[in-house]
Amino acid sequence: MNGRVIAYIDGFNLYFGLKSAGWKRFYWLNLQAMAQNLLKPQQELVFTKYFTSRVSYPPDKERRQSTFIEALKH
C-alpha cells in the first residue's frame, strides 16, 4: 500500500485519555513522531494536524495550554 498520510489528532480526547490512564509523563509526547511510527512501510507522513478545544478558565490552565500549542507549532 503506497500513500501519503495526514494524521489527525483529537487533542481533547488524547489529553483526557492520558490523564485517566495516569500517563502524565506523555503529555509532551512528540505527536509527529508518534504518527510517523504508526505508518506502514510504504506510507509517507505529509502533515500532522492537531485539534482541540481551547481552555478559557482558570488562567493558569489557559496559559499552560497556550504554551503547549505554541510548542506544537515548532
User: Per-residue pLDDT for the chain (74 aa), expressed as one digit of tens each?
Assistant: 569 999 999 988 988 888 899 998 888 889 999 999 999 999 999 999 999 888 888 888 888 888 888 887 77
Exposure on the CB side of residue 74, measured as CA atoms within 13 A: 6
Distance (Å, whole) CA 31 – CA 20: 19
What does DSSP assign to residue 42?
T
Q: Dihedral through CA 74, CA 55, CA 30, CA 15, nearest 10?
A: -170
Q: Residue 46 has which C-alpha cell?
A: 505529509
Distance (Å, whole) CA 7 – CA 31: 9
What pLDDT is recorded for position 40? Answer: 94
